[in-house]
Amino acid sequence: MALSFLPLAMFLLRTVTEGVQWPEHVVCTLPHLRLSYVSCDPLQDIGFTLDHCPDLFRRKVHSKVSFLLRHSIEEVYLSVDLFVGNAEPVHYDETLCLPHIQRFTFCGQKKGELLNQDWPLDVKLAPPKGHFIAQIRLINQDADQIACANVTFIFG
């Protein structure tokens, strides 16, 4: 009897120790563009949507980001690693919130609140063909990870 529970227990243990693999979310599919992302945070998925896929005629796009805050965010730092082929990733850092410089309305939100931000984007796309992966992370004042997403861009 006890034995039949073993596979389930092993499975649960494995999901807990290895973390969850979140589903891939496809944001945009056009003949020449595919944009998708996977959360790379072990504890939560994140929401990201566009009102339409950017193209030559409609470059202005409204994006929306939402996720639950597991930590307060008096300070927020953006960290991006862009992977192109087998080359060394290109790293980019930016400060989004400081206690006295609140560039976005989400700056200063508290643990347990929902971050819900609209971002108007003006996309000027002239990318080379190819496959790009960006790992985008948000980190707070205590070096806690606030959100993490691996975003895949395929330009055809």
Ligand X SMILES: *[C@@H]1O[C@H](CO)[C@@H](O)[C@H](O)[C@H]1NC(C)=O
Question: Where on the chain is the footprint of ligand X (CB under 6 A)?
Answer: 38, 40, 83, 135, 150
Q: How far is the CB of 44 from ligand X (least distance, A)?
A: 12
Nearer residue to ligand X within complex by CB, 77 or 83: 83
Nearer residue to ligand X within complex by CB, 89 or 99: 89
Nearer residue to ligand X within complex by CB, 81 or 144: 81
Q: How far is the CB of 14 from ligand X (least distance, A)?
A: 16
Whether 89 and 81 have beta carbons less than 8 Å apart is answered as: yes
Nearer residue to ligand X within complex by CB, 75 or 81: 81
Q: How far is the CB of 53 from ligand X (least distance, A)?
A: 22
Of all residues in the shown chain, the one whose CB is closest to ligand X is 150
- Taken as a whole, the chain contains a residue count of 156
Q: How far is the CB of 119 from ligand X (least distance, A)?
A: 22
Q: How far is the CB of 135 from ligand X (least distance, A)?
A: 5
Long-range contacts of 142-149 (CB under 8 A, 24+ apart): 142/71, 144/70, 144/71, 145/41, 146/69, 146/70, 146/71, 146/73, 146/76, 147/39, 147/41, 147/44, 147/46, 147/67, 148/39, 148/40, 148/41, 149/37, 149/38, 149/39, 149/40, 149/46, 149/48
Nearer residue to ligand X within complex by CB, 36 or 141: 36
Q: Which DSSP symbol is given to 56?
A: S
